[in-house]
């Protein structure tokens, strides 16, 4: 019997005979056998590229529910395993409990071909599909499953608005005629640079044993090693030689195996009229998290379900995109994190073996310390021991030393502007706000940006350290922290707003200029923060630079007398010193502009002046924006050099933030989205770093620390939500040690109070 949509989509065209297109065709035909569905595939039925396909249990569950016939056929073919082997400088570390299922891509296509044929789907092999626009006039629905190089997407680029990013590594898909007994990652440190092998089994039955082998390396390593000049056979032979230990001396086999650079595809829209993109045509995710086929199959499932459920095709296509986009974007964020880890592989090779392995396992942030502890507790305990965790102590509750200051744990209350000072004087609000967070267990509590002059304020509500009254106000806060929360350190962040000053407080209009009562702005260059809205700042001359440097040192002396344990210099977020560092905001032609060395000159002068006055046993940190999230701005490579310069001048740690430098930035928001920049600086320079940016859970903190991506984690909004975040994190992990002591007056509340009764007990017997 025809489904409710047969009158509207009786004819369906599918462009591309990969897993996503075939599965969509099979599902739509199964839902309505009267539909006429045609699949165009330009290759022969037995042509395929790549070798093995990995599918998750979640994807298989969706397939089982939608089409048990396909599910049973897949189940009969799968190779299953649950271990990952990581080879680091000749040492193999094994982690279990992961669960994988793989089969050959060719066999997967055969199963889908058979299913489509049995249902009556027309399969047109060795045939180029007509253009999507032509098909759209003859068919009710056109499914563009034509891959990463989608002609459909290109033909309608003005509607789909694709963004395609080409990445920094070259890789090649190869195969070995034996079955690896685990998912294997092996690193080769060659004279040309670091190379990486990703390998996994995909067949181990009567038809023979086989494994997929992907070899990947940075573009510059690929060129230096001469792969650019090798043909397919020579490349396979060379890779087999480099990874002879992993392969047991056996050869590698190619199949149209060309070296390529991964391209991340993102589209603003996934449908155009009655044409819809699925799979790699709509989005790609780096192969290192094994999600390409998974996403395509899940797209097909969602598209078929939405078409079946919605009375109108436009609504169905909108529902499909609405359902899938958040899932895809989450997967792409995870894939991007994994991709970056492999791009920066050379920075990790000097890590201890278990930390290297833990970092690899948690690179996408989908595997964390807590769930790895469930999957493989022995492996995780060994990583914790190497890190220095005493028995029963989570990583976040291990101490950390900066100069003469020992922090009892790795949690930092991040600087957060409160806009609640009067004439720059911190009052009762600051005492309660910072005092509560200190009582809440964090190892280090940071003030908001404390301004060094009235003209250096962001808003009239910003706190300062340019008067004795302000110093006395801060002394009241530090005395409370040191007296009532002994063991908690408190740090001050000094800064100058520069061109971002004289604005309203945040809740009255962030970055909106004051309607009255403003003050003249100064900056590295006369460029307004928001052209047409913000005031044009005055470019600082030599005399004014000297004055501002002295304002910083005077504020630092007041901070010393106020009892702060640590001082951070704010060189981020587009404020004055940050404005000197970024090429987007520093257009000077004198000694303070031009090259990165010149742009660093004034911030380093300020740092040196403060360091000369700041007590030698008290640490100084520097907050930087490691990227401007805008073309032509600070790059990650620049950030490494900026960090290198500050460390050479005596900085004890780099607080690595990003952005807020230009108003037209486009940040890549997501969980822990700024931590890769801290990771890069730490593992390139071997310097302590503080990671910030959407770190929200104690599991994230533990994971980042154990992987060697950071030394301290600064959290802002979690501490606004819960001033006792650190103590509650300790309780959630069953930790009651010295790194997270409950204040004596609060100790009775260290355990959650019992909840009320959830409901009446259910009857155990039914009497008739």
Q: Alpha helices of 67-178 — where are they, by DSSP H?
A: 68-75, 105-119, 132-138, 151-155, 157-160
- Planar angle of CA 126, 263, 299, nearest 5 degrees: 65
From residue 380, give the alpha-carbon distance in Å to each of 34, 315, 372, 409.
55, 47, 7, 20
**Residue 575 bears catalytic tag:** yes
Phi, psi of 478 (to 5 degrees): -65, -35
How many Å apart are CA 512 and CA 530, to the nearest integer? 9
Helix, strand, coil shares of the chain, percent, nearest 5, are 40, 20, 40
C-alpha 17, offset from chain centre: 32
34 with 10: CB under 8 angstroms? yes
For residues 501 and 457, the answer to whether their CB atoms sit within 8 Å is: yes
Question: Smallest Cα–Cα separation from 342: which of 219, 235, 253?
Answer: 219
CA distances from 636 to 71, 424, 574, 700 (A): 45, 35, 16, 22
Instruction: Please report where in the chains the tokens 């199964």 appear, as a residue.
Output: 30
DSSP single-letter state for residue 498: G
Of all helices (H) and strands (E), which one includes residue 468?
A: helix 468-484
d(CA 104, CA 173): 13
Find, among 614, 470, 458, the residue nearest to 534 by Cα. Answer: 458
* DSSP class of 500: G
Which residue, among 540, 652, 661, has the nearest Cα to 601 in the 3D structure? 540
Q: How far apart are CA 651 and CA 740, in angstroms?
A: 27
- Cβ within 8 Å of residue 181, ≥6 positions away: 81, 83, 201
Residues counted in the chain: 768
CA distance to 490, 493, 523, 557, 580, per residue, from 545 (Å): 29, 20, 10, 19, 11
Q: Strand 208-218 relative to strand 162-176: parallel, antiparallel, unpaired?
A: antiparallel
Determine the Cα–Cα distance for residues 242 and 231; give it in Å rounded to an integer.
16
Instruction: Name residue, tokens 């070995």.
Output: 176
Catalytic residue, from 200, 575, 592, 735: name it. 575
Q: Helix crossing, 698-706 with 725-732: angle to 10°?
A: 80
Active site residues: 575
């Amino acid at each position: 019997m025809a489904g409710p949509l047969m009158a509207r989509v009786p004819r369906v065209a599918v462009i591309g005979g990969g897993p996503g297109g075939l599965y969509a065709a099979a599902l739509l035909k199964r839902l309505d056998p009267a539909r006429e569905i045609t699949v165009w595939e330009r290759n022969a039925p037995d042509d395929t590229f790549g070798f093995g396909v990995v599918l998750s249990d979640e994807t298989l569950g969706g397939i089982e529910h939608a089409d048990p016939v396909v599910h049973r056929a897949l189940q009969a073919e799968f190779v299953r395993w649950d271990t990952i082997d990581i080879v680091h400088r000749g040492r193999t570390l094994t982690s279990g409990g992961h669960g994988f299922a793989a089969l050959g891509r060719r066999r997967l296509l055969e199963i889908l071909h058979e299913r489509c044929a049995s249902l009556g789907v027309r399969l047109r092999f060795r045939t180029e599909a007509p253009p999507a626009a032509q098909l759209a006039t003859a068919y009710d629905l056109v499914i563009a499953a034509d891959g990463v190089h989608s002609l459909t997407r290109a033909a309608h680029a003005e509607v789909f608005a694709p963004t395609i990013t080409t990445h920094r590594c070259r890789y090649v898909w190869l195969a070995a005629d034996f079955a690896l007994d685990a998912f294997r990652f092996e690193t080769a440190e060659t004279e040309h640079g670091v190379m990486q092998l990703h390998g996994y089994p995909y067949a181990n039955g009567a038809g023979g044993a086989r494994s997929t082998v992907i070899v990947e390396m940075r573009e510059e390593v690929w060129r230096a090693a001469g792969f650019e000049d090798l043909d397919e056979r020579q490349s396979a032979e060379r890779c087999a030689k480099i990874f002879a230990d992993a392969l047991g001396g056996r050869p590698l086999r190619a199949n149209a195996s060309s070296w390529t650079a991964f391209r991340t595809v993102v589209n603003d829209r996934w449908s155009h009229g009655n044409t819809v993109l699925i799979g790699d045509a709509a989005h790609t995710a780096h192969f290192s998290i094994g999600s390409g086929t998974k996403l395509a199959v899940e797209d097909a499932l969602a598209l078929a379900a939405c078409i079946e459920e919605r009375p109108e095709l436009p609504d169905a296509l909108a529902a499909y995109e609405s359902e899938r986009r958040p899932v895809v974007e989450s997967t792409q964020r995870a894939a991007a994190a994994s991709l970056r880890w492999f791009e920066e592989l050379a920075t990790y090779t000097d890590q201890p073996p278990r930390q290297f392995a833990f970092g690899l396992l948690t690179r996408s942030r989908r595997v964390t310390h807590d769930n790895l502890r469930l999957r493989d507790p022995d492996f995780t305990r060994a990583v914790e021991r190497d890190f220095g965790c005493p028995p029963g102590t989570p990583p976040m509750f291990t101490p950390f030393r900066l100069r003469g200051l020992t922090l009892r744990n790795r949690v930092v209350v991040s600087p957060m502007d409160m806009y609640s000072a009067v004439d720059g004087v911190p009052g009762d609000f600051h005492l309660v706000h910072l005092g509560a967070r200190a009582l809440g267990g964090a190892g280090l509590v940071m003030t908001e940006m404390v301004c060094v002059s009235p003209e250096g304020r962001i808003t009239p509500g910003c706190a300062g350290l340019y008067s004795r009254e302000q110093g006395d106000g801060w002394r009241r806060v530090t005395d409370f922290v040191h007296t009532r929360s002994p063991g908690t350190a408190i740090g001050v962040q000094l800064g100058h707003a520069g061109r971002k000053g004289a604005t309203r407080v945040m809740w009255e209009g962030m970055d909106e200029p004051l309607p009255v009562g403003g003050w003249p702005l100064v900056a590295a260059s006369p460029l307004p923060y928001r052209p047409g809205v913000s005031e044009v700042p005055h470019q600082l001359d030599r005399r004014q630079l000297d004055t501002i440097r002295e304002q910083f040192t005077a504020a630092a002396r007041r901070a010393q007398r106020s009892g702060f344990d640590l001082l951070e210099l704010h060189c981020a977020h587009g404020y004055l010193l940050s404005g000197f560092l970024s090429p987007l905001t520093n257009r000077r032609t004198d000694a303070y502009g031009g090259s990165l060395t010149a742009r660093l000159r004034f911030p380093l002068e300020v740092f040196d002046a403060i360091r000369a006055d700041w007590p030698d046993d008290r640490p100084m940190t520097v907050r930087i924006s490691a990227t401007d999230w805008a073309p032509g701005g600070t790059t990650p490579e620049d950030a490494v050099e900026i960090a290198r310069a500050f460390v050479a001048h005596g900085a004890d740690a780099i607080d690595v933030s990003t952005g807020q430098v230009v108003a037209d930035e486009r940040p890549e928001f997501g969980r822990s989205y700024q931590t890769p920049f801290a990771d890069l600086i730490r593992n390139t320079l071997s310097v302590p770093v503080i990671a910030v940016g959407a770190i929200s859970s104690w599991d994230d903190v533990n994971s980042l620390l154990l992987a060697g991506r950071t030394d301290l984690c600064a959290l802002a909004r979690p501490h606004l939500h819960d001033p006792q975040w650190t103590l509650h994190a300790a309780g959630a992990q069953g930790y009651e040690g010295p790194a997270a002591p409950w204040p004596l007056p609060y100790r009775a509340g260290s355990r959650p109070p019992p909840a009320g009764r959830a409901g009446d007990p259910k009857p155990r017997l039914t009497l008739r």
